[in-house]
Structure 1
Amino acid sequence: MKDILITASLVVYHNSKEDIKKVIDSFLGYGSTSILFIVDNSASDSLSALCSDSRVKYIFNNTNVGFGAAHNIAFNGAYQLESDYHILLNPDVYFDPSIIKDLIYKTESDASIGLLMPKIVYPNGDTQNLCKLIPSPKDLILRRFIPFKGIKKRLENRYELRFYCYNEEAEIPILSGCFMMIRTSVLKKVEGFDERFFMYLEDVDLCRRIGKISRLVYYPKVEIVHNYEKGSYKNKKLLSYHIKSAIKYFNKWGWAFDKERSRINKKTLLNLKRQK
């Protein structure tokens, strides 16, 4: 396989050095043709001590500009380097570096793929349900606050595609921003993240825009570990960010009426049920 330049971005905000080192080692373990942009929104640059490798480009913002805006800084670096693929990384993931080669092989074999996400598991090995339909207000708002467990479970089963085994490759409209490998040319074409989303829903919005020009594929033949904490379920400030982002998202894409959402979700459900 030809030499392929892989860039990645990691946005940090007062994360533990231990967690960040795991991410750095996972990505840089791929090899010499990898460049990692670490964009630090923290109040201090203490994490810069982990960035001695020449393949790490550390950018200190000295203020929290938001998740999407910080990643966009790294995206601009990827465009300048003319990388082939760019990986979005969360500070709470780690993986065997060899998976990157597998993901490259997959995307190189199919030019229609613009975004690829591997299987995501908890540290105990359980699969995380991060393949999703395009959300409606009931998926993001009613599901979060409804007190009726039966209704909530039905909504989750459909929205998070829990009837699907998660062991088969599939085209999925919404994949998680905790780990995405995207063709840099596609990322540039859609102009990265919409910076109106300070935190939450920016990955959903990005998936929708990428989905208009290429395929989004879930690829479970390789996996990563994600310490998924669902911060907005525990922290009122994070919950307020989530609610504000949901309002911005539906103002942009439509609340009750979203023909594109209905069409794509219907197609996705039919295709997945055929795979069962």
Structure 2
Amino acid sequence: MKLSASIVLYQTDLTPLKKVIDSYFACKSGALQLFLVDNSPTDMLKSVVTMYPDKEIHYIFNNENIGYGKAHNIAIKKSMEQGLPYHIVLNPDIVIQEGTLEKLTHYMNEHPEVGNIMPKIIYPDGQLQYLCKLLPSPIDLIFRRFIPFKKWRDKSNQKYELHSFRYDKKINIPNLSGCFMFLRTKALEKVGLFDENIFMYLEDIDLNRRIHRAYKTIFFPEAVVVHEYQKASYKNIKLLKAHIKSAIYYFNKYGWFFDKERKIVNAEVLKEIKQLS
């Protein structure tokens, strides 16, 4: 079986980029191809391809920053044109641990009802990243960042990130992180690709929500990925504005305080977590 993956670049640091490429090609489950889709102002990162002469790496230079989801869509469409069953969306700041792709491929082969699967995500020091989440409300994505009451903010965040779940069992989650998405292309044929109206941030929430309607979207703790999580929008005002703009688009699309689907789906997740505990 051939696996396909894509990484979107924007003036990306070569050191972490080489780490994710090396860890991806360390997989032994079949043939591998990788798309590097570059939104940078120049094509300087093209030189990465020459560092891997024996690997199937396709470099695509967009000559402008067209957005995160739109750039990944270019690669996903090429995978779908080849009739490949899966496509993996990768952040440039992760390291795939040994055996992860093999385990995920096997599980997806055995479970055609699954449209997206995410492994356990940890920090470089081994600490867990809480990246299984409920479908967000405006409080979760916008207002809590500006409310000064830390105790209330922490309590709200713990519920949104499902801290009551021990992250030790497989579970069907409506909101999985976009830092690593192992996607079934048949699911994407049914629900569509990344919403290109979202320039950056929340495109993963939107896509996983649409997949979750028709397929299971599974957290799979038996496989592990290391993620150098930056929370860039907390440090950069331009990225913060992009995050807020995406959130406004998302809630205009699905509903702000009145979102029946969100209420039903979140209640189902919390019920399942209670049963698992």
2:15 pairs with 1:18: yes
Question: Counterpart of 1:34?
Answer: 32
- What is the CA–CA distance in structure 2 between the aligned matches of 1:93 and 1:46, rounded to whole Å? 21
Q: Residue 164 of structure 1 aligns to a residue in which SS?
A: coil
Report what 1:89 is aligned to. Answer: 90
Amino acid of the residue matched to residue 266 of structure 1? A
Tell me the amino acid that sits aligned with residue 94 of structure 2.
V
The residue matched to 2:176 in structure 1 has which SS? coil
Query: TM (normalized to structure 2)?
Result: 0.96
Residue deviations 1:30-73 (CA, integer Å, cap 9, x gap): 24511111100011112111113441111011110000110011
Q: In structure 2, do the counterparts of structure 1 residues 117 and 199 end up closer, same or farther at CA, with 3 Å as the change threshold?
A: same
Contact 1:42 1:63 in 2 (8 A): yes
TM-score computed with the length of structure 1 as normaliser: 0.96
* Number of corresponding residues: 273
Amino acid at match of 1:33: A
Name the CA distance, whole Å, in 2 between partners of 1:24 and 1:36: 8
Matched, 1:46 2:47: no
- After the TM superposition, which residues 122-161 of structure 1 pair with which residues of structure 2 at under 5 Å, given as runs? 122-161=123-162
Describe the superposition over 1:81-101 as per-residue Cα deviations: whole angstroms up to 9, x where unpaired. Answer: 111111000010012242101
* Contact 1:197/1:248 (<8 A) preserved: yes
Give 2:68's aligned residue. 67
Which residue identity is paired with 1:212? Answer: R
In structure 2, runs of 5+ residues without a counterpart are none
Q: In structure 2, what is the Cα distance between the partners aligned to 1:167 and 1:173?
A: 17
CA distance in 2, matches of 1:270, 1:191: 29
1:107 aligns with 2:81: no
Cα offset, 1:228, TM superposition: 0.2
Q: Does 2:178 correspond to 1:180?
A: no
- The answer (yes or no) to whether the contact 2:99–2:223 under 8 Å persists in 1 is no
Q: Distance in 1 between matches of 2:143 and 2:159?
A: 14
Alignment partners' CA distance in 2, 1:111 and 1:149? 43
> d(CA) in 2 for partners of 1:217 and 1:17?
31
Kindly state the Cα deviation for residue 264 of structure 1 after the two structures are TM-superposed: 0.3
Q: Which amino acid aligns with 1:199?
A: M
- Whether the 8 Å CA contact 2:7–2:92 is kept in 1: the answer is yes
CA deviations on 1:165-214 (whole Å, 9 max, x unpaired) are 11111111100000010111112322210000000000000011111110
Secondary structure of the corresponding residue to residue 12 of structure 2: coil
- Are the aligned partners of 2:39 and 2:61 in contact in 1 as well (CA < 8 Å)? yes
CA RMSD of aligned residues (A): 1.0
1:73 maps to a residue whose letter is I
Mapped contact 1:28–1:97 kept (Cα < 8 A):
no
Question: Identity across aligned pairs (percent)?
Answer: 47
